[in-house]
Amino acid sequence: MKKWVLSLTLAAGVVGLAACSGGGDTVAKSKAGNVSKDELYEAMKERVGDQMLQQLVIEKVLDKEYKVSDKEVDKELNKMKDQLGPQFEMQLLNAGFKDEDDFKEVLHLNLLQQKAATKDIKVTDDEVKEYYDQKEPDIDVRHIIVEDEKTAKEVKKKLDNGEEFADLAKEYSQDATAQTGGDLGTISRDDPQMDEDFKAAAFDLKEGEVSGPVQTQFGWHIIEVTKKPEKEAFDKVKDEYAQELKVAKLDQDSNLILQAMKRELKKAKVEVKDEDLKASLDSILDAPDPEDTNDEQMDQQKDDSAKDQADDQDASEDKSKDEKKDK
């Protein structure tokens, strides 16, 4: 998930809150007594009501103003699958999502927020062209990681003699990718979490080429690039790259997404009827405007400057008194 996205992980586990509201139907029976829908709703409302109402309202408001297609959601999903490779399913479960469809609901909401937040962000053609010139297509890689250079050379020799990469990964590799033939999925040149030495070696390879031993902070690697697409024409990817630049600006200023949600909720004239949840949207609706924050910062700077001047004046007077005493 992008860091600018509001916290929506509750979607993975408490979406039942909306379905429970209203009605006195029995949810569970026991000799000690029954649990009704109303009781369940009140209990869930107390624990996660504020966050869940916030999420449901945002989704309803944005769904009316912006459109996110299934194709867009699938594209984002496939991008994450490529990045995580065979670890995707495990990551999904660890994050609390019951299945892929559950996760796609949150992706849909994230993309709605993205469109709302980037609506008024401007990027120039020069910025997009510079971004295009610097960007390299993502590549698919697999590796075999071992402890020392001697073992890495041994593995490389076996590969040169025709042995299968996947088989040797299962035999030698010392990380979790061993069971999947060393597959690391798709990597990006600008991924800050990927070791720089590893990226430099991998992006220097041609498709189908296997590296010699490469040392990183994690050990010694033998790397193979399994897919390396050609760079697409600028006109074909211009709009996509412009959107990526806008999203990058969201990453640089987390307040932009909050201000966008505030704008959309006020425009929709949202009114919370449940007294217990009246304050659910206050953290968004009462967020200070950027100009207010700037004014506060300027006032604080003036106060700090005045205090520094007063301190300097006091210090000067004390020094003068000391000099007179010495005389």
Residues 6+ apart with CB under 8 A from 238: 128, 132
> For residue 190, what pLDDT is reported?
84
> For residue 5, what pLDDT is reported?
39
Average pLDDT, 10 consecutive residues per value, the chain (327 residues): 39 46 74 88 86 90 93 91 81 87 91 92 94 93 97 97 97 94 91 92 97 97 97 94 90 86 93 89 88 53 60 61 56
> For residue 302, what pLDDT is reported?
58
> For residue 24, what pLDDT is reported?
60
Tell me the residue type at 140.
Answer: D
Q: Decide if 61 contacts 268 (C-beta within 8 A).
A: yes
Edge to edge, what strands does the sheet with 219-227 contain? 183-187, 139-146, 219-227, 214-216
CA distance 14 to 309: 55
Of 4, 100, 92, 20, the C-alpha closest to 52 is 20
Residues forming beta bridges with residue 223, ordered by sequence position:
143
> For residue 2, what pLDDT is reported?
42
> For residue 311, what pLDDT is reported?
62
> For residue 246, what pLDDT is reported?
92
